[in-house]
Amino acid sequence: MTSFAFTFPGQGSQAVGMGKELAETYPEARAVFAEVDEALGQKLSTVMFEGPEDNLRLTENAQPALMAVSVALARVLETRGVRLAEHAAYVAGHSLGEYSALCAAGTFSLIDAARLLKTRGQAMQKAVPVGHGAMAALLGLDLATAREVAAEAGQGEVCEVANDNAPGQIVVSGATAAVERAVELAKGKGAKRALLLPVSAPFHCSLMQPAAESMAAALAEVEMHAPVVPVVSNVLATPISEPAEIRQRLVEQVTGVVRWTESVTWLTKEGGVTNLVELGTGKVLTGLAKRINPDVSAIAIGTPADIDAFVAQVLS
């Protein structure tokens, strides 16, 4: 028996041109992009389709842009007969992708999701002055060793594991000097590579506490419904459906670890999922899924050709 979970990518997957072919092909996608533009009071779709890249990469633009493409894909699939409520057992999203997952599953309206992510992006950027925070990928270390590196690198400053993306792919986040120390220490502890990431703020660490407080206030104002299928929470790596708990976990997520390895492991073991389907720009989560569980089927859907092939597969 085939069991699907839909996954939704996070920041870093954005690229100039994202969503353009969808908008040209599907009225449902055009409607999503127009609604997001109106909700935000800016022509985000123009930045998505045409750039400039620097503008798209801004956290406050990248986050709602990635959500818009993911939700557009979900809406197109629905009109083609592949409905989340009927065809997915679970949804999960990487960091901001959790909002995309929840919007696609009916927890948030599209307008609220766009505005929440704009707020989230701005709050995360404001939480730490530019240059004072950094993130680094530690490749080839296990989670326990990465935690040791972070603790040793701290020296009184914040340095914490932020993302457990896949076996051998851990990201640390914190004060710039501490993260730079972690890069050097990781090399001495057997990392294949350790490198600073091109990000504008130290996401998913305790330095983001001011942003967590901003999100608590923003989420308190938004109407939320139970998702049509459970969402596997980033901070728990287990499924939840209760709106009050979703709200709480989204606040915790701002400073908490993205437990992606454990989330995918839960989906494919306890959750019985056999097919992971990434809806959005790029194929990052599909690559991670194959590293986490080589036995699972993982595909990415981002183009009209991908949609046609997937609809034919599911509805055949």
Pairwise CA distance, residues 177 & 107, whole Å: 39
* Greatest alpha-carbon span in the chain: 59
Pairwise CA distance, residues 182 & 279, whole Å: 33
Please name the residue that has the structure tokens 């040791």.
148
Given 13, 45, 70, 95, the catalytic residue: 95
Pairwise CA distance, residues 226 & 251, whole Å: 17
Tokens of 138: 């530690």
Instruction: Check if 87 is active-site.
Output: no
Cα distances (angstroms) measured from residue 105 to each of 80, 91, 198, 260:
17, 8, 31, 19
Please name the residue that has the structure tokens 């690229």.
15
Given 13, 70, 100, 204, the catalytic residue: 204
Pairwise CA distance, residues 14 & 66, whole Å: 6
Cis peptide bond prior to 202, omega within 30° of 0: no
Pairwise CA distance, residues 123 & 241, whole Å: 26
Instruction: Check if 204 is active-site.
Output: yes
CB-based contact 205:136 (threshold 8 Å): no
Just list the catalytic residues. Answer: 95, 204
